[in-house]
Amino acid sequence: MNNLNNNLLNPSFSKDKEEIFNYKLFYDIKISGLKRGLDFEISQPIIDNKGYDLILSSYEDGRNNIRRFQLKTVSKKSKTKSWWINKSFFKPNEVRDLAMVMPNANADNIGNYGGVILIEYDANEENIQSVNYYYTDFMVTTLFHHKILKYKGDIMEFYKNLFTDDGGKISLKKGMFVKVTIDQLLELSTFYPFGYKDINTWKFFYYGNTFDREQTTLNCNS
């Protein structure tokens, strides 16, 4: 008997599932950009050995912004609560960003500053009922470090593991992701300036790699 939810969970249809939810993400990114007169260029590596699934770029006011992302798709009913990624992919690509959590950081500690987009869906036998986005990158973890966002784990232990130079992988728990709208995702990944607009109760300001708590309010579900 045909069942949409069961088939989405069936490894035989993994490519179909990937295309369905990736194209939904691409559609949402394009619509969000066009509302602001911004043209996003979306590309994917031909060979799946680069450590990322998506390259997103935009050009605005003489500034070319390029970010690389890993995409993780999971059912809302799934028991999976963590994902392994390459440490070098997740590390920031500038020493000044590292200095926010590592005062003695140097160029040996930098990486690719990749972001991770978690696509969580809920489906039944006939329909996909909901699709939600969660996002994290190194800069999001600094929100935990500065206690702007709550994190139940030990963020310093996470940094210790991240910067252990073993060329390996690190586990990202779901609690390290922030539930976002597509606009919020593009703000956190620096395609839109923080505080671009008031989206529900989301207001965020970021000044020269320092956080100004007096001007910062953030209300989101993680």
* Inside any domain, residue 16: yes
> What range does the domain containing 18 cover?
4-193
* Inside any domain, residue 207: no
Please count the structural domains in the chain.
1
Could you give the CA distance from residue 134 to residue 72 in angstroms, rounded to a whole number? 10
Between the alpha carbon of residue 16 and those of residues 27, 77, 83, 121, the distances in Å are 16, 19, 21, 14
Percent of the chain topping pLDDT 70: 83
* Inside any domain, residue 57: yes
Q: What pLDDT, in 10s, does the model give residues 100-147?
A: 777 777 777 888 999 999 999 999 999 999 999 999 999 889 888 888
* Inside any domain, residue 209: no
* Inside any domain, residue 167: yes
Could you give the CA distance from residue 34 to residue 58 in angstroms, rounded to a whole number? 12
* Inside any domain, residue 143: yes
* Inside any domain, residue 18: yes
* Inside any domain, residue 203: no
Q: What pLDDT, in 10s, does the model give residues 144-196?
A: 888 878 888 889 899 989 988 767 899 999 999 988 999 989 988 988 875 54
